[in-house]
Amino acid sequence: MKILVCISHVPDTTSKINFTDGDTKFDTNGVQFVINPNDEFGLTRAMWFKEKQGASVDVINVGGPETEPTLRKALAIGADTAIRVNTEAKDGMQVAKELAKVVQDGGYDLVIAGRESIDYNGGMVPGMLAALLDANFVNNCISLEVEGTSAKAVREIDGGKESVATSLPLVIGSQKGLVEESDLRIPNMRGIMMARKKPLNIVEPANASAETTSVSFEKPAPKGEVKLVDADNVAELVNLLHNEAKVI
């Protein structure tokens, strides 16, 4: 089985976010970038298929040279080969089209993409990619087993879970639950050293056009002042909730 894991290069959630050029561009200065968490769950599951079933695992990112350290981390975790599509990621459709070209050329059986990235939270790419490839698709995937060309998956739905049976080629939108957080892998020194020798292939883009443009960004409003009320002063608490906060 040939697996491709899509890796988004996203800011660490502890990073302080700022914008430049009149709030039209994201300021990357001082920001630590990591593998998108939903992608990391998918990568860990792919490693299980590699170790248990002999699958090959490639990772891919659409982006500039600045994303290569993130791809190298994926190689250190155990992926065989990394691919960087040499173009800026502009929107979900453009990224999906660039990924589709690589998947078609590479003949992949299973594509694992995080259900969404934690920067834009678009949640579009896995579904778009499956449609472009005319492949089966399971989103919000929290369990996946593959035997030959048959696959069984479990996905989260409103109010519960749904078990489905499908076949390869398959695209899944991975998330927490596909593996446990305790199963996530931290690259060891041997993995880091081996990653330096593994191929990181740069491919030219298919020049897919973006369908949307970001006009401007805006930070959430800062939190307001907090008033502390003595635990015994219930009357004052009720008064503030009723007359000031107006929630009762």
pLDDT in tens, 47-87: 999 999 999 999 999 999 999 999 999 999 999 999 999 99
Q: Hey, what are 222's tokens? A: 């800062």
Query: What is the reported pLDDT for 15?
Result: 87
Where does 2-219 sit in CATH, by number? 3.40.50.620
pTM to 2 decimals? 0.88
What is the percentage of the chain residues whose pLDDT exceeds 70? 100
| Residue 224: predicted pLDDT | 80
Main-chain dihedrals φ then ψ at residue 85, nearest 5 degrees: -80, 120
Residue 219: pLDDT band (50, 70, 90) is: confident
Residues 6+ apart with CB under 8 A from 231: none
